[in-house]
């Protein structure tokens, strides 16, 4: 996984103020492997990495981030941009019915998607769709669509397997117009591989139906093949969008990146299971994180970026450097970290956390933090500035003043000293070290 692989790189980069060409090379090498492992096509990876290098080299490092994080942030932005930036809407025809044609290889999930989409349109737009069964090569395919129609209480037009798909579509459309349906979903046949006969048939259906959307349905599990399939279908049919199914599997979804890069067509929805409710709008930023395998690390980075006061960080860094970090700074730092949100939530965003057994149950003890604050607030200014030794008498006074036991105060002081190390890690930009420290 990318995060693991980057850990070594992270270590070497700690404390740097500027991203050098070498740093970028090192990081992008790892990202390249991650993308290839996620099944992104090689030419796409190459082009992508080139862009990243151009953009990242010479970038000034923000106070809150280390160079590796900075580069990853750029990687995420670029990935998200390639994947389409924002979500892509389903097109609607100015006059009814809006005709949507599903195309793709056999088993990709066309029929299932037709059912999911019909359900969504019915429920969200109160639409009245008609589905047309134009896959005449397998009787089971027609039954499958009819069963979905019954489940959803949405009509399905079929003429069995005797008529040609083109004629079925023609008759089905006539019926939809007559009944003033607002959507028509055409479920077409697929093949195990692309062949001319299939493409011919699909082109004829397209010419007749003049669909507003031609949605290519591809199976994410087929990885690199999916990109090639998308290229051919787009060349032959000029598709309007892509649906990526079976993202509920353990695939990283790199196909999404290749498909988007190769066809330039928007990805509109993803299928995340066999059930009719397992349909999701495609969000480029989420897919980007998924492809990189980084959990919510980027969210964490963004939070750090927006929340950390750069001036304050610089001041604290200076104090750290001169070993002047004291109890007042500790409180200030704690407040800053807490302003990022509930610590439990922050913990969950740390890459790899979810993979550590039992880590999901780690509870950050907010009470404990309140206790620490109370102890510091009981200190005199001189004590906070570390100008006097916290001897047993003073510790007893702090215990009484803050409503804690003597043992608690001792523990806290010990932790404070550990925290100084932890802060040192953070000042050099290592978020992981800081978060790991917080969890202790």
Give the residue ranges of the annotated binding site for GTP: 104-111, 187-191, 245-248
User: Do the beta carbons of residue 186 and residue 99 sit within 8 Å?
Assistant: yes
**DSSP state letter for 161:** B
DSSP annotation string for 59-96: PBPPTT--HHHHHHHHHHHHHHHHTTSSPPPPP--SSS
CB of 190 to ligand GDP, least distance (A): 5
Tokens of 182: 């607002």
Q: Which residues contact 389 (CB under 8 A, 6 or more apart)?
A: none
Q: Does 67 bind ligand GDP (CB under 6 A)?
A: no
d(C-alpha 272, C-alpha 145), whole Å:
19
Query: At closest approach, how far in Å is the CB of 219 from ligand GDP?
Result: 8
User: 15 in the Ramachandran plot: left (φ > 0), alpha (ψ -120 to 50) or beta?
Assistant: left
Out of Mg ion, ligand GDP, none, what residue 106 binds, judged by CB under 5 to 8 A for its kind, is: ligand GDP
Binding test (CB under 6 A) with ligand GDP, winner from 14, 137, 167, 273: 273
SS3 sequence of 201-269: HHHHHHHHHCCCEEEEEEEHHHCHHHHHHHHHHHHHHCCCEEEEECCCCCCCCHHHHHHHHHHCCCEEE
Per rule CB under 6 A, is residue 62 in the interface with ligand GDP?
no
Residue 225 sits in the site that holds ligand GDP (CB under 6 A): no
Among 7, 106, 161, 328, binds ligand GDP (CB under 6 A): 106
Longest distance between any two alpha carbons in the chain, whole Å: 97
Using rule CB under 6 A, residue 274 touches ligand GDP = yes
Among 28, 66, 76, 111, binds ligand GDP (CB under 6 A): 111
Determine the residue with CB nearest ligand GDP: 271
Contact map string, positions 132 to 161, toward ligand GDP, x by CB under 6 A? ------------x-----------------
**Toward ligand GDP, which CB reaches closer, 161 or 428?**
161
Which residues lie closer than 8 Å to 338 by C-beta, 6 or more apart? 369
Least Å from the CB of residue 38 to ligand GDP: 18
- Which residues sit at the interface with Mg ion, rule CB under 5 A? 110-111, 141
- Which residues sit at the interface with ligand GDP, rule CB under 6 A? 104, 106-112, 144, 190, 217, 245-246, 248, 271-274, 278
């Amino acid at each position: 996984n990318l995060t693991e692989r980057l850990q070594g790189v992270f270590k070497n980069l700690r404390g740097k103020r500027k991203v050098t060409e070498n740093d970028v090379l090192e990081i992008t090498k790892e990202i390249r492997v991650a993308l290839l492992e996620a099944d992104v096509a090689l030419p796409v990876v190459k082009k992508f990495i080139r862009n990243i290098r151009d953009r990242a080299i010479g970038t000034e490092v923000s106070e809150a981030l280390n160079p590796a994080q900075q580069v990853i942030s750029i990687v995420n932005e670029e990935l998200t941009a390639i994947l389409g930036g924002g979500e892509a809407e389903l097109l609607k025809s100015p006059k009814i019915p809006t005709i949507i044609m599903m195309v793709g290889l056999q088993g990709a999930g066309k029929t299932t998607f037709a059912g999911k989409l019909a359900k969504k349109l019915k429920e969200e737009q109160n639409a009245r769709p008609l589905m047309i069964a134009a896959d005449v090569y397998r009787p089971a395919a027609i039954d499958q669509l009819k069963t979905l129609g019954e489940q959803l209480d949405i009509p399905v037009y079929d003429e069995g397997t005797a008529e040609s798909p083109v004629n079925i579509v023609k008759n089905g459309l006539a019926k939809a117009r007559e009944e003033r349906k607002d959507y028509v979903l055409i479920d077409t046949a697929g093949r195990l591989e692309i062949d001319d006969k299939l493409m011919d048939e699909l082109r004829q259906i397209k010419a007749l139906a003049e669909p507003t959307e031609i949605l290519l349905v591809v199976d994410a599990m087929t990885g690199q093949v999916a990109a090639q399939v998308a290229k051919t279908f787009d060349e032959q049919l000029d598709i309007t969008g892509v649906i990526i199914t079976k993202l509920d599997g353990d695939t990283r979804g790199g196909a999404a990146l290749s498909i988007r890069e190769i066809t330039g067509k928007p990805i509109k929805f993803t299928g995340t299971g066999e059930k009719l409710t397992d349909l999701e709008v495609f969000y480029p930023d989420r897919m980007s994180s998924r492809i990189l395998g980084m959990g919510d690390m980027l969210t964490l980075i963004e939070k750090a970026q927006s929340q950390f006061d750069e001036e304050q960080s610089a001041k604290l860094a200076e104090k750290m450097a001169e070993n002047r970090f004291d109890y007042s700074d500790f409180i200030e730092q704690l407040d800053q970290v807490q302003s990022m949100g509930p610590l439990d939530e922050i913990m969950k965003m740390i890459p790899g956390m979810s993979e550590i057994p039992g880590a999901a149950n780690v509870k950050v003890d907010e009470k404990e933090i309140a206790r620490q604050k109370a102890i510091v607030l009981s200190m005199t200014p001189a004590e906070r500035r570390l100008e006097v030794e916290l001897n047993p008498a003073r510790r007893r006074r702090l215990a009484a003043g803050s409503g804690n036991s003597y043992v608690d105060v001792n523990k806290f002081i010990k932790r404070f000293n550990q925290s100084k190390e932890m802060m040192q890690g953070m000042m050099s930009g290592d978020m992981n070290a800081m978060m790991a420290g917080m969890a202790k």
